[in-house]
Amino acid sequence: MNIKAQTIATLRQFDIGDKFAHLPLRKAAVLIPLFVKGEELYTLMTLRSLELRTSAGEVCFPGGKRDPSDRDDVETALREAQEEIGLEPHNVEVVCKLIPVLNKSGLMVTPVVGFIDQDFSPSPNPAEVSAVFTVPLDLFTQVKNYSQLQDITGFVAPVHFFDYMDPISNTNYHIWGLTAVLAIIVAVCALQKKTEFEVGFDFKDPLHFFEQNLLKRVSRL
C-alpha cells in the first residue's frame, strides 16, 4: 500500500461524520490539504492578508465561516478554499472530518482533510491571502522548531507555536494558536506518531480528549 492509500485508510478511522452537527453553535470549517512529495506527507497553508479585519497576517488553513447556502462543513471548506486559493472542489479528494475545535470566540471549527495533487498551483485571492506555502506534516510532531507561548490574551492554556523557514521563498512563518492545534491533530492521526513535546492528550486516541473538551466548553455556553 502506498503512502497516500495508507494515510487515507488511517485517517478514515478518525472520521466524525455528522456527530456534532446538531450542536447549536456558530460553525466554520477549514480544509487541511495533504499531498505526497518524495515519499513524505505535506500540507498546504496560507498567510492571511494584512487587509483583513481579523487575524490579519497570521498563518492558517483555507477556510472560514459557514454560509447559509452551505450544506455542511465539507462544502464550507471547499468553497472557502476555492475562493481563497483557487482550489477547485473537484480537485480535492475529501478523506474525513476530524473533531471540531472551539476557537476563543466560541466558533466551532471543523477540520476537513483532503488530498490534492502535488503539482497544484495556487491562485491566491489578494484580498484574503498574501502567501501560500507547503510544510512537511512531520514538522508538527517535532520539538526542533517548537515552543510554547505563555499568558497570551484570550487563551487559558499554553499556546503551541512553530517556526518554519520555507526553503522556496526563504520566508520564516509563525504557525500558532488554533492552526497549530489543528496541524498537530492531523499529523498525529495521519502519521500515527507521538509528538516530541507535551500536548496533553493520548496520541493513540487524540479525538477522545478533544471531544471531551468540546462538550465541556459547550456545556458552559
Residue 74 to residues 14, 166, 199, Cα–Cα distance (Å)? 16, 29, 27
Q: What angle do CA 41, 96, 139 make, to 5 degrees?
A: 30
What CATH code would you report for 3-220? 3.90.79.10
pLDDT bucket at 54, cuts 50 / 70 / 90: confident
Q: Which of 172, 163, 23 is nearest to 99 (CA)?
A: 23
The answer to whether the Cα torsion of 70, 71, 72, 77 is positive or negative is negative
- % of the chain exceeding 90 in pLDDT: 71
Looking at residues 107-128, what average pLDDT do you find? Answer: 95
Residues 221, 205: Cα–Cα separation, whole Å:
26
Nearest to 37 by CA among 117, 110, 133: 117
Contact between 49 and 129 (Cβ < 8 Å): yes
More confident residue, 181 or 205: 181
Q: How confident is the model at residue 215 (pLDDT cuts 50, 70, 90)?
A: confident
pLDDT tens across 118-175, in order?
999 999 999 999 999 999 999 999 999 999 876 555 445 678 999 999 999 999 999 9
Residue 130, pLDDT score: 94
Cell of residue 220, nine digits: 458552559
Model confidence at 200, in pLDDT bands (50, 70, 90)? confident
Q: Is the pLDDT of residue 206 over 80?
A: no
Stretch 85-101: mean pLDDT: 96
Contacts of 213 (CB under 8 A, 6+ apart): none
**CA dist., res. 133 & res. 67, Å (int):** 26
Give me the chain's average pLDDT, please. 90
Is the overall model pTM greater than 0.85, yes or no?
Answer: yes
179 vs 45: CA distance, rounded Å: 9
DSSP 67: P
Domain extents in the chain = 3-220
With bands split at pLDDT 50, 70 and 90, how would you rate the model's confidence at 66? very high
CA distance 131 to 25: 30
Residue 41 identity: L
Phi, psi of 9 (to 5 degrees): -60, -40
